[in-house]
A and B are shown apart, each in its own frame.
Chain A
Amino acid sequence: MIPAAFEYYRPTDMAGVIALLQEHGDDARVMAGGHSLIPMMKLRMAEVPHLIDLQAIEGLSEIAISGGSITIGAMVTQHEIINSAEMEKAAPIMKEAALQIADPQVRYMGTVGGNVANGDPGNDMPGLMQCLNAQFHLVGPDGDRVVDARDFYEAAYMTDREDEEVLTAVSFAAPVGGFAYEKQKRKIGDYATAAAAAQIFKEGGKVSAASIAMTNLSDTPVWSEDAGTALVGSTCDEVAVKAAVTAMLDDIDPTEDNRGPVAFKRHAAGVVLGRAIARAWSRA
């Protein structure tokens, strides 16, 4: 499997990246770990005449946690998320999710930035970022801007990011309460048949706030506001979980593929959400 030929660039600052993107437009793409892009290039499903490698850009590989706010540079790898004791303390759902992405070797290379910016409905971090109400930081020729993860995804591989912009970091408030990332996959390394991210905050023995997001069950990640609302005021009892699952099923729109027909995916979505709620509640 030999990809089409390309010019390779390894700029050392973001201005250099933006200049290349402006010069080559659609013909240029940035690459972080490359573990989504390179397989697509090898299959010739993606042709990238000008490939811009971000590995030499400084300041994209930091995890900053302070004052209840968490910022993760775009080039931070899943492996680094898993091994950051600080991250595990501040947002343990990140480690739980990252451990379910691909396999060890891919996690050494795969980055948070690549995972969220790629726009692949199968990627796990976009749904998780929506669950955590994260912000995405973009840099472009006209300066910086911030987009909510919940507003970023338009369709499969289509996002609010402009061609000349680069996603440099994600940030979110340190989550409170119980958490779970539950993923059903056929085998190690596969994308989700269905996955659910849940954060549940308990006060006075009842749910006071809940956030639910689903992965690979639509052409974008799905933050199901109604599913979260269905849990509020409950003790995550059977009736409340059923209401949350029903609300979630109204929001997703899975398609048939080699992971199964629509009915099976809807069934799996209900099962993973039920498990995610139960685990998040037990930790709340």
Chain B
Amino acid sequence: MSNKMHVKLNVNGEDHEFLAEPRELLIYALREKLNITGPHVGCETSHCGACTVTMNGKSVKSCTVFVAQANGAEVTTVEGLGSPDALHVLQENFKEHHGLQCGFCTPGMITRAAKLLEENPNPTEEDVRFGIAGNICRCTGYQNIVKSILSAASELNASKEAAQ
């Protein structure tokens, strides 16, 4: 019953292969097998969104996906969005607008926000609040998170226009 299976994952553009029990949760495979520690374990009950990653184009809570289900998937974590030397526009804006305090929810917030802006490049404040409703922050009261995401959206749109 506790047989391990062969798992293949593409995380942030890089292929990984490892053995895991099917019941292992994706968040633990990422953090403990692959050392990708951006996504956090918060509530571990599908509520808080700290473990949010993008899997095959969907924002998912990686505490609620078995690694067996994810076998063969493409996964993007916050590490795949930006790097310390080249921050993603969302990361720049979270920094600029004080969109984080303790920072625990931030990787999930930013990964979720990136998907939200990909699907809706011109969100209203209401769209942003509704779109990040699956991510809990216990510090900011959300005001500055919303501000950061809206500002990132304008910046992304401005750079798109400039490129045209």
Contact = CB atoms under 8 A, between A and B. Distances in A.
Interface of A: 1-8, 10, 31, 34-35, 38-39, 41-42, 49, 51, 53, 55, 79, 102-106, 108-109, 188-189
B45 interface: yes
Contact of B22 (A1, A7, A103, A189): A7
Interface string B1-12: 111010000000
Nearest to B21: A5
Nearest to B108: A105
Contacts, number: 85
B69 A34 contact: yes
A8 B64 contact: no
B137 interface: no
A55 B58 CA distance: 14
A2 B134 contact: no
Contact of A79 (B1, B58, B65, B71): B58
A1 B44 contact: yes
Contacts of A5: 1-2, 21-23
B47 interface: yes
Nearest to B129: A188
A98 to B, nearest CB: 13
Contacts of B131: 104
A145 B132 CA distance: 40
A208 to B, nearest CB: 35
B46 A35 contact: yes
Given A8-B5, A42-B45, A109-B64, 4 more contacts: A1-B45, A5-B21, A5-B22, A8-B68
Nearest to A43: B45
